[in-house]
């Protein structure tokens, strides 16, 4: 029987349906219109963003909030280059993403055609792989291969460059089984009994072991595996920015975020450990360079990225290292530990970790006449449901959020870590609400980051997405403003915005049912409660103190022992509640 013929565009829609894709993010144009037209006929929902960068960030937000691969579809030329920042951001944060980009017809290559760009050359260093489609016959293979490649091993973005003529050309649809791809990409590697024995020999000798947990664990399997492991062995822990929620941050022995703007107790306990158990981390410079190369602790390192493991083997000489999926390896270790009844004699260390966390709480200027970002987030933290998903932009508000908003579940704190992309907060939220519509989704942003993709107010408001936006407006780029005070004699060359704009009124015009501005601290708590209880798009603008400084901080070139606590963080005497 002769198979039905499909256009390339139809084939793409059918392939995405086969993969279980139910939602894509994008912006249309002539060079991708055949695909968009077919998607509109399919079961796949299309979310139209304000621009292509936002579309790719929303697809990344979809991935960050779920166990699925986000898909963005855009047209040619400036549309695809607009996605470059989001692709680069996903690459360094290990976020699975597929970007399908329209391209001019093949016969126009090399002719200076309107909106032609060499996609492979531009995206090569920033993507896990770029597929330049050259034949309609392997298009289904490329779509499905790209999807599985994006989420396999060290996850990352895959870009597909698709000429217009191949979207229109017809071919038979093979309906390639997904097992053909999963068998290639989803192979598990396990620890041997001998390797488990080596690990526990090392762990049993330690008196001050410390878990250093990274984004490689920020999924349900990873979170379940580390919680199971630590229920057995009860080791104090710290997390990276990308690993918030991997372990319940309210647990007594969990110290919170480590690094340049880490919590006082996390940045203190790392100076005292004798076995650094690094799992699913990339040794970010904002964390690792603060340790330097003189760390006295032994190191165990588990990660799925072979190049990173080899780099750390060369630079830091770990006593134990293994390349593999962190969840799989942790379950191997838990199984072996149970089988051999492994226990750790670290009771004094555990109690020290509990007391350390109690002794060094975060704090801020509680006597200030103006509203503090830390104040807003401290109040918000007490009102957040456990399943709320927080997205942030980039700046002081991001790190204050990481410090003050304690998360108990994985994939509930979405932020751009390694690339630090301002303007990402709202599009990440658009992706998150489409991935998990039953969870509250909250954007925490600063005015500098917020303005970069303000068009998403239109996306959220006109599509009535129940996203809550908390804008903390200090009329400045706060993090750079602080740096200018420290290193540039207080000269503020381009960070201040003395002109005021009523962002709450703009949100109202974009369709937000709740839109309010708060200037006085006495109005703050009630406004937060009203904002949180609103059922549709809700916008709350809080005018905050421009002079507020983010503490603690470990400045570039400094070590953890040189951490600056600022004027308000103090050691307290507080006993553990029994």
Q: What is the pLDDT of residues 423-479, one digit of tens each?
A: 999 999 999 999 999 999 999 999 999 999 999 999 999 999 999 999 999 999 989
Per DSSP, helices labelled H in 317-372 are 326-339, 347-359
CATH code, domain with 537: 3.40.50.970
Q: 192: which 2 tokens?
A: 């041997």
Same domain, 35 and 153: yes
pLDDT higher than threshold 90 for residue 257: yes
pLDDT at residue 576, rounded to an integer: 59
CA–CA distance, 308 with 298 (Å, rounded to integer): 18
Is 565 inside any structural domain? no
Q: pLDDT value at position 575? A: 62
Q: What are phi and psi of 66, to 5 degrees?
A: -135, -175
Same domain, 167 and 234: no
Claim to verify: residue 436 and residue 482 sit in the same structural domain:
yes
pLDDT tens per residue across span 94-122: 999 999 999 999 888 888 888 889 999 99
Residues 507 and 407 in one domain: yes
Q: Phi, psi (5° rounding) for residue 269?
A: -65, -30
- Secondary structure (H, E, C), 58-123: HHHHHHHHCCCCEEEEECCCHHHHHCHHHHHHHHHHCCCEEEEEEECCHHHCCCCCCCCCCHHHHH
Domain annotation covers residue 173:
yes
Mean pLDDT of the region 224-253: 98
Task: Look at residue 262 and tell me whether its pLDDT is greater than 70.
Answer: yes
b (16+ CB within 10 A) / e for 258-288: bbbbbbbbbbbbbeebebbbbbbbbbbebbb
pLDDT tens-digit map of 163-208: 999 999 999 999 999 999 999 898 889 999 999 999 999 999 999 9
Structural domain includes residue 29: yes
| Coil, strand or helix at 344 | coil
289-327 burial: b if 16+ Cβ within 10 Å, else e: bbbeeebebbbbbbbbbeebbeebeeebebbbbbbbbbb
Q: Is the pLDDT of residue 294 over 50?
A: no
Residue 29 sits at φ, ψ, to 5 deg, of: 180, 170
User: Average pLDDT in the 533-542 region?
Assistant: 98
* Domain membership flag for residue 452: yes
Same domain, 518 and 405: yes
**Using one digit for the tens of pLDDT, what is the confidence trace for 116-157?**
899 999 999 999 999 999 999 999 999 999 999 999 999 999
Residue 416 placed within a domain: yes
Rounded to two decimals, the pTM is 0.95
Distance CA 411, CA 435 (A): 11
Q: How far is CA 296 from CA 206, 210, 272, 291, in A?
A: 12, 13, 9, 10
Shared domain for 226 and 137, answered yes or no, is no
Domain membership of residue 572 (yes or no) is: no
Question: Which of the four pLDDT bands, split at 50, 70 and 90, describes residue 284?
Answer: confident
70 and 157 part of one domain: yes
Query: Which of 56, 54, 40, 33 is CA-nearest to residue 103?
Result: 33
Shared domain check, 277 and 203: yes
Instruction: Tally the domains of the chain.
Output: 3
**Residues 94 and 280: beta-carbon distance below 8 Å:** no
Query: What value does the mean pLDDT take over residues 413-423?
Result: 95
What is the spatial distance between Cα 327 and Cα 323, in angstroms, rounded to a whole number? Answer: 12
Clarify whether residues 198 and 178 are in a common domain.
no
Task: Report DSSP letters for 401-419, one per residue.
Answer: HHHH----STT-EE---SS
- Position 293 scores a pLDDT of 42
Q: Name the token pair of 1.
A: 């029987």
Same domain? 276 vs 132: no
Q: Are 210 and 235 in contact (CB under 8 A)?
A: yes
Arithmetic mean of pLDDT, 335-340: 98
pLDDT band at 290 (very low <50, low <70, confident <90, very high): low
Q: What is the pLDDT of residues 419-437, one digit of tens each?
A: 999 999 999 999 999 999 9
Is 50 a residue whose pLDDT tops 50? yes
The answer on 310 and 414 residing in a single domain is no
Tell me whether residue 570 is in a domain. Answer: no
Q: What is the mean pLDDT of the chain?
A: 94
> Residue 264's domain is classified under what CATH number?
3.40.50.1220
Please list, in sequence order, all residues whose beta carbon lies within 8 angstroms of the beta carbon of residue 92, skipping any fewer than 6 positions away: 417, 418, 419
Q: How far, in Å, CA of 321 to CA of 299, rounded?
A: 8
The domain in which residue 496 lies consists of: 373-547
Residue 566 has pLDDT above 90, yes or no: yes
Q: Select from 359, 385, 418 the last residue of a domain.
A: 359
Retrieve residue 255's tokens. Answer: 């110290």
- What percent of the chain lies above the pLDDT cut of 70? 97
| Domain end position, chosen among 327, 359, 391 | 359
**H, E, C per residue of 290-301:** HHCCCCCCEEEE
What tens digit of pLDDT does each residue of 357-382 get? 999 999 999 999 999 999 999 999 99
- Is the pLDDT assigned to residue 80 strictly greater than 70? yes
In a domain, 17, yes or no: yes
Residue identified by tokens 């979170």 is 223
261 and 178, same structural domain? Answer: no
Domain end point (choices 359, 387, 414): 359
C-alpha distance from residue 474 to each of 151, 364, 449, 479 (Å) = 39, 16, 12, 11
């Amino acid at each position: 029987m002769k198979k039905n013929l499909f256009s390339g565009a139809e084939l793409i829609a059918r392939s995405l349906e086969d993969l279980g894709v139910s939602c894509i993010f994008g912006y249309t144009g002539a060079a991708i219109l055949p695909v968009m037209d077919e998607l509109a006929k399919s079961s796949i929902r299309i979310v139209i963003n304000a621009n292509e960068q936002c579309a790719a960030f929303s697809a990344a937000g979809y991935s960050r909030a779920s166990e699925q691969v986000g898909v963005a579809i855009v047209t040619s030329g400036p549309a695809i280059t607009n996605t470059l920042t989001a692709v680069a951001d996903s690459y360094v944060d290990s976020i699975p993403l597929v970007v399908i980009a329209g391209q001019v017809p093949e016969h126009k290559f090399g002719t200076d055609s309107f909106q032609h760009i060499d996609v492979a050359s531009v995206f090569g260093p920033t993507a896990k792989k770029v597929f330049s489609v050259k034949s309609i016959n392997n298009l289904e293979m490329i779509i499905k291969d790209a999807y599985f490649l994006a989420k396999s091993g060290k996850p990352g973005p895959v870009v597909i460059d698709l000429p217009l003529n191949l979207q229109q050309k017809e071919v038979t649809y093979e309906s390639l089984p997904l097992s053909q791809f999963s068998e290639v990409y989803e192979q598990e590697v396990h620890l041997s009994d001998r390797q488990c024995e080596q690990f526990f020999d090392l762990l049993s000798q330690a008196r001050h072991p410390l878990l250093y947990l990274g984004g490689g664990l920020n999924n349900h399997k990873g979170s379940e595996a580390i919680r199971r492991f630590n229920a057995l062995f009860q080791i104090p822990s710290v997390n990276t920015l990308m690993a918030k929620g991997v372990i319940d941050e309210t647990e007594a022995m969990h110290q919170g975020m480590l690094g340049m703007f880490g919590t006082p107790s996390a940045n203190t306990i790392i100076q005292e450990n004798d076995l650094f158990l690094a799992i699913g981390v990339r040794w970010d410079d904002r964390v690792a360079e603060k340790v330097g190369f003189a760390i006295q602790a032994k190191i165990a390192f588990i990660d799925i990225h072979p190049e990173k493991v080899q780099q750390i083997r060369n630079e830091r000489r770990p006593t134990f290292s293994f390349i593999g999926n962190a969840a799989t390896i942790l379950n191997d270790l838990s199984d072996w530990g149970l089988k051999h009844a492994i226990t750790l004699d670290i009771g004094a260390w555990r109690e020290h970790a509990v007391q350390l966390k109690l002794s060094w709480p975060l704090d801020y200027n509680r006597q200030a006449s103006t509203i503090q970002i830390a104040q807003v987030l401290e109040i918000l933290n007490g009102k957040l449901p456990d399943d709320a998903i927080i997205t942030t932009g980039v700046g002081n508000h991001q790190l204050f959020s990481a410090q003050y908003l304690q998360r108990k579940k994985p994939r509930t704190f979405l932020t751009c870590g390694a690339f630090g992309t301002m303007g990402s907060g709202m599009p990440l939220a658009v992706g998150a609400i489409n991935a998990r519509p039953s969870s509250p989704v909250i954007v925490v942003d600063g005015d500098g980051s917020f303005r970069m993709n303000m068009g998403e107010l239109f996306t959220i408001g006109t599509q009535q997405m129940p996203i809550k936006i908390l804008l903390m407006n200090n009329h400045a780029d706060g993090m750079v403003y602080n740096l200018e005070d420290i290193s540039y004699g207080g000269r503020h060359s381009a960070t201040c915005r003395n002109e005021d704009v009523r962002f709450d009124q703009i949100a109202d015009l974009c369709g937000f049912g709740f839109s309010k501005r708060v200037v006085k601290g006495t109005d703050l708590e009630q406004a937060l409660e009203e904002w949180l209880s609103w059922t549709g798009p809700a916008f709350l603008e809080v005018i905050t103190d421009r002079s507020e400084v983010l503490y603690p901080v470990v400045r570039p070139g400094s070590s953890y022992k040189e951490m600056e606590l600022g004027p308000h963080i103090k050691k307290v005497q507080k006993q553990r509640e029994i």
